Amino acid sequence: MLVVEVANGRSLVWGAEAVQALRERLGVGGRTVGALPRGPRQNSRLGLPLLLMPEEARLLAEIGAVTLVSAPRPDPRQHSLALASFKRQQEQGFQEQSTLAAEARESRRQELLEKIAEGRAAKKQKLEQGAADRESPAAGESQAAAESQTSGETPAARTTEMGARPDPAEPEEAAQGSSSPQPGPSNGVAPLPRSALLVQLATARPRPVKARPLDWRVQSPDWPHAGRPAHELRYSIYRDLWERGFFLSAAGKFGGDFLVYPGPGFKLSTTSTSHS
């Protein structure tokens, strides 16, 4: 059972899975009106929220696929709890991200170590060849000694890092790992700088909340459409066409009421707009 919040006569769907269910399973389209996270500065593809026409929302409620609720007001009593849990999650996330970052850094270093070792070996070969020609074995030995020293250090550092890794925590809300550090000189576990923390700007409300169900048969401030003749007329047409299997969407750009498609994802060469 999907839940859709309604405010001021407008129904917005904030979950991507819900949008998928509506479009694929129920044949109700709606329209995306928000910015797309991947490309927020273009208009050809928009993202969540999905705006449902009043007719679409009412149809979904009538067939029982969706519960319409009045958009819940933020509850001041829940606020302190939410704040505390947010702070906790942020700290946890910070720890997690630091560890993950350290791990990533470490694995990077390991990869590079091999490459470094290869490179050094090749270089050593060349030098030795050159040394053999020019008779300077001492330089080659000191180089080898230096290399063995550095390679000796890094495994030690690695073990300390492994020990410091805490258990992975449950999924949380805010601050979590960074993936940007470069493989620098090997130290201990360097704490992640606060500015490198990754933060999720949540699209939908990240915590569950209680809301009152909305009766679409009754007029209310959140649902002013009930009883209006224009709405009733549009709804009857929408319902009829939907039952016949068509896929409808808003037709404001073409001056009609609905655009009628044979199914989602199709385009009609001559748009049939229904005027009511």
Using an 8 Å Cβ cutoff, are 71 and 6 in contact? yes
Decide whether 120 or 231 has the Cβ nearer to another protein.
231
Site for another protein in 158-197 (CB under 8 A): 168-180, 193-197
x/- binding map, residues 42-61, to another protein, per CB under 8 A? xxxxxxxx-x-x--------
244/131 Cα distance (integer angstroms): 87
Could you tell me the smallest distance in angstroms from the CB atom of residue 159 to another protein? 23
- Residue 207 lies near another protein (rule: CB under 8 A): yes
- The answer for residues whose C-beta is within 8 angstroms of residue 72's C-beta and 6 or more apart is 5, 209, 210, 211, 212
Pick the closer one to another protein by CB: 267 or 275: 267
Question: Any bridge partners for residue 36, and if so which?
Answer: 39
Assess 147 for contact with another protein (CB under 8 A): no
Angle at 199 between CA 161 and CA 180, to 5 degrees: 50
Which residue type sits at 163?
G
Residues 6+ apart with CB under 8 A from 255: 273
Residue 158 backbone class (left: φ over 0; alpha: ψ -120 to 50; beta: rest): alpha
The answer to whether 34 contacts another protein (rule: CB under 8 A) is yes
**Residue recorded with tokens 């999720």:** 200
Show the binding pattern over residues 222-241: x = contacts another protein (CB under 8 A), - = does not.
Answer: --------x-----------
Interacting span for another protein (CB under 8 A) from 33-41, 108-116, 134-142, 147-155: 33-41
Q: How far is the CB of 246 from another protein (least distance, A)?
A: 12
Q: Which of residues 60-89 bind another protein (CB under 8 A)?
A: 67, 69, 71-72, 74, 79, 82-83, 86
CB of 139 to another protein, least distance (A): 43
